[in-house]
Amino acid sequence: MDILIVDDEPNIRNVIKEYAKFSGYNVDEAKDGIEAIEKCKEKDYNIVIMDIMMPKLDGYSTIKEIKKVKDIPIIMLSARSEEYDKLFGFEIGIDDYVVKPFSPKELMARVNAVLSRTNKKENEPEDGKYNFDGLQIDKLGRTVFIDGKKIEVTPKEFDLLLYLVVNKDIALSREKILSEVWGYDFFGDDRTVDTHIKMLRNSIGKYRDRIVTVRAVGYKFE
């Protein structure tokens, strides 16, 4: 997953880059709007984090130009918290608005949330069946097939596999997985996730390597 960070302040870019790489993302940087537009023309980014106040071309104008050539999810950063600025940002097509100073952890949570929504829209098959080589997950039938043969998985294993698949290529923290698959009121800890991941890997056999451990973060489906 590729992220483009656009900000004229090197310190802010460095902080975001550190957290993004820690979360398993590939990171590119741009120091102004002109550079950001050129990079977006050259490469397909999964998401852009964009500052408003920048030299040469402001964030609003940059987003308008990017949206002319590519429909990329964008999170806007700004020191301005006025409602007008937020509304204008959403009108031109941003997906989220984060006010400076911000928590890098919260920003990455917002990145994951935007990508999750985007992936669900893009990756939802019409028939509800996800296919990865010989691994098939039937969302409507709540069944899993390997090379055409149905395998047995527990209801929670199915929920976990489906959640990973819907959010494929996104590094998901154990806390995020717990809250989305088990629910916010679940009484337990992240070892529950590790245990079920181990069981799920055993269940899907030769496709176990598609569930990748992201060091110090959690898991993702590739």
Q: Please indicate, yes or no, whether residues 7 and 98 belong to a single structural domain of this protein.
A: yes
Q: Phi and psi of 33, rounded to 5°?
A: -65, -40
Q: Please indicate, yes or no, whether residues 118 and 135 belong to a single structural domain of this protein.
A: no
Tokens of 126: 């019409």
Question: Which among 105, 122, 139 is the end of a domain?
Answer: 122
CA distance 219 to 194: 9
Q: List, in order, residues 6 or more apart from 33 with CB less than 8 Å away.
A: 6, 54, 56, 57, 58, 59, 61, 62, 65
What are the beta bridge partners of residue 144? 137, 151
Question: 83 pLDDT band (50/70/90 cuts)?
Answer: confident
- What does the pLDDT read at residue 48? 95
CATH of the domain at 34: 3.40.50.2300
pLDDT tens-digit series, residues 15-31 = 999 999 988 889 999 99
Q: Please indicate, yes or no, whether residues 129 and 206 belong to a single structural domain of this protein.
A: yes
CA distance 195 to 67: 43
pLDDT tens-digit series, residues 197-210 = 999 999 999 999 99
Tokens of 136: 């098939």
The DSSP result for 9-49, as a single string, is -HHHHHHHHHHHHHTT-EEEEESSHHHHHHHHHHS--SEEE
CATH of the domain at 140: 1.10.10.10
- What does the pLDDT read at residue 121? 64
Q: Please indicate, yes or no, whether residues 61 and 21 belong to a single structural domain of this protein.
A: yes
Q: Please indicate, yes or no, whether residues 148 and 117 belong to a single structural domain of this protein.
A: no
CB of 184 closer than 8 Å to CB of 136: no
Residue 183 pLDDT > 70: yes
- What does the pLDDT read at residue 78? 86
Mean pLDDT to the nearest integer, 80-107: 87
Question: 187 pLDDT band (50/70/90 cuts)?
Answer: low
Range of the domain at 41: 2-122
Question: Which among 104, 122, 140 is the end of a domain?
Answer: 122
Place of tokens 């995020």: 176
CA distance 95 to 163: 22
Residue 116 pLDDT > 90: no
pLDDT tens-digit series, residues 31-52 = 999 999 999 999 999 999 999 9
pLDDT tens-digit series, residues 66-79 = 988 888 999 999 88
Q: Please indicate, yes or no, whether residues 117 and 128 belong to a single structural domain of this protein.
A: no
Question: Which among 91, 122, 153 is the end of a domain?
Answer: 122
Q: What is the mean pLDDT of the chain?
A: 88
